[in-house]
Structure 1
């Protein structure tokens, strides 16, 4: 018989919360599968929550309160867990931060900035200071470190999601950094693509009319949870998990992808831009 791994509830707020959930579930005589009946979530998802490795979605917290008759306890504690895991990231990004670690697929469209998962420290620092110019150095470095930590999912083979990103041509030819810094940023994309960790596509700037003209897009799918769509503005973000609405965003993303250059042609464009920046030259616009 396999010995069940105990949970040390003193390690963090999430583990304390998860241990309490498992105790109440088992006290009610419910297996993972039985507890989850009537929800969209899988038993691996719930097990991760019970071990403090995943945040509890508000929908599942309400389900727990209903099934376990806990009078709103788990719904009320959701915010405590979110705050405990929010080091170096905005409150509105919490749901996405957790979801990235467990996604099967991640697809992004970034019209104005390289996405956080692909940014070099120099690029991340420039973006953070542009948005929060009065930040203390320690605050900036905390945010940079947190952003770099997100990209670790590309370094663990068995956990690497299938990542697809569409980049606007302006990100390549309108430099945010010095020539050296832009060369490093673009080379980061090339290296990940050549390691088969990501699939980048470039949308030419001549493609003026297209879906998502008004903002960014991030779509994630999971083995044990509904898909999630996320879009972000300057000081806010919106995570949407309504299945029908996510499907609408999915169709718009597919149309956008069809308008972009092929992955092979896109990688050639990015590689050429790396060489241009290394030689002190501004990359040419696509014809």
Structure 2
């Protein structure tokens, strides 16, 4: 039977309540299989919740509270786990945050800004400055911390998820911050590529008409669930799980990758651009305006 010393209060909220769930289940003498009886969920799903790998859906929390007699404990804590997961992120991004942790592969197309999974803190601050956000500095830093935490995916030893990204050439040629900081941003991407954690391709600026011209897209695949697509605009984002639409996005993304530069050539371009920013060869915005 579980003991209270197994519950680590220093863990993150999802991990903490996952361990609490296991304690309560074993205290009641129930197996995973018996606890999920009468719900729409499986043993694997519940096990991943106990290990802090998934958040608990509200309907499952209600079911667990009924089976364990915990008087609404887990239903109330669902909101706390959700808030912990979303810290620094907008609410509509919550489903993607959880999906990234379970994905086997992630494919992303970035036409106008480097993807969050690849951004350094200075790049994030530059984007916030460009938006003229009304947040206080400490609120912006909370958002930056949340975004940086997403990139911990690339620190996992098992190499999952596999992340492939197509970047428009303008993202590595035109700077949104001082040259040295832009060089560090591109160095960061190049280092991830060399470690084998990221497969980056560049779509040339003069490539002409190409798939997915109207916006960005993230495609996620899983071992135990149907694929998912996430699309985002400036102040809104939504997930797409309709199989027909997901298939169309997949086709467009595959065609886009075919139109992009090969992996080796893309890495060379990123490294060359970083060196130019480091050596001050890229004119700043004022100089470009004067030259025009």
- TM-score interval, normalised by the smaller of the two chains: 0.7 to 0.9
Does the 8 Å CA contact 2:65/2:75 hold for their aligned counterparts? no
Match of 2:254 in 1: 254
In structure 1, C-alpha distance between the alignment counterparts of 2:43 and 2:189, rounded to whole Å: 35
Are 2:268 and 1:263 equivalent residues in the alignment?
no
In structure 2, C-alpha distance between the alignment counterparts of 1:208 and 1:24, rounded to whole Å: 59
Where does 1:137-176 land on structure 2 (aligned, <5 Å)? 137-176=137-176
In structure 2, C-alpha distance between the alignment counterparts of 1:227 and 1:66, rounded to whole Å: 27
Match of 1:100 in 2: 100
Does the 8 Å CA contact 2:204/2:261 hold for their aligned counterparts? yes
Does the 8 Å CA contact 2:2/2:23 hold for their aligned counterparts? no
Deviation at 1:189, TM superposition (A): 0.9
Match of 1:193 in 2: 193
Are 2:255 and 1:245 equivalent residues in the alignment?
no
SS across alignment from 2:272:
helix
| Aligned-residue CA RMSD (Å) | 3.4
Are 2:197 and 1:184 equivalent residues in the alignment?
no
Q: Quick one: structure 1 residues 34 and 78, their matched pair in 2 at CA, closer, same or farther if it must change by over 3 Å?
A: closer
Deviation at 1:66, TM superposition (A): 8.7
Deviation at 1:245, TM superposition (A): 2.4
Does the 8 Å CA contact 1:45/1:224 hold for their aligned counterparts? no
Structure 1: gaps (5+ residues):
none
* Cα deviation code 1:236-280 (max 9, x no counterpart): 110122333222211111011111111111111111111111121
* Cα deviation code 1:112-150 (max 9, x no counterpart): 111111111100111123234322111111111111111
Does the 8 Å CA contact 1:105/1:221 hold for their aligned counterparts? yes
Does the 8 Å CA contact 1:187/1:271 hold for their aligned counterparts? yes
In structure 2, C-alpha distance between the alignment counterparts of 1:116 and 1:94, rounded to whole Å: 14
Match of 2:290 in 1: none
Does the 8 Å CA contact 2:154/2:197 hold for their aligned counterparts? yes
Does the 8 Å CA contact 1:24/1:68 hold for their aligned counterparts? no
Q: Quick one: structure 1 residues 29 and 145, their matched pair in 2 at CA, closer, same or farther if it must change by over 3 Å?
A: closer
Q: Quick one: structure 1 residues 269 and 38, their matched pair in 2 at CA, closer, same or farther if it must change by over 3 Å?
A: farther
Structure 2: gaps (5+ residues):
284-292
Q: Quick one: structure 1 residues 249 and 66, their matched pair in 2 at CA, closer, same or farther if it must change by over 3 Å?
A: farther
Match of 2:204 in 1: 204
SS across alignment from 1:106:
strand
Does the 8 Å CA contact 1:109/1:165 hold for their aligned counterparts? yes
SS across alignment from 2:231:
strand
In structure 2, C-alpha distance between the alignment counterparts of 1:251 and 1:22, rounded to whole Å: 46
Does the 8 Å CA contact 2:227/2:241 hold for their aligned counterparts? yes
Higher mean C-alpha displacement, 114-123 vs 154-163: 154-163
Match of 1:125 in 2: 125
**TM-score, length-scaled by structure 2:** 0.79
In structure 2, C-alpha distance between the alignment counterparts of 1:206 and 1:17, rounded to whole Å: 51
Q: Quick one: structure 1 residues 258 and 188, their matched pair in 2 at CA, closer, same or farther if it must change by over 3 Å?
A: same
Q: Quick one: structure 1 residues 230 and 146, their matched pair in 2 at CA, closer, same or farther if it must change by over 3 Å?
A: same
Match of 2:223 in 1: 223
* Cα deviation code 1:81-107 (max 9, x no counterpart): 423422111111111112212211111
SS across alignment from 1:85:
helix
Q: Quick one: structure 1 residues 12 and 272, their matched pair in 2 at CA, closer, same or farther if it must change by over 3 Å?
A: closer
In structure 2, C-alpha distance between the alignment counterparts of 1:31 and 1:244, rounded to whole Å: 35
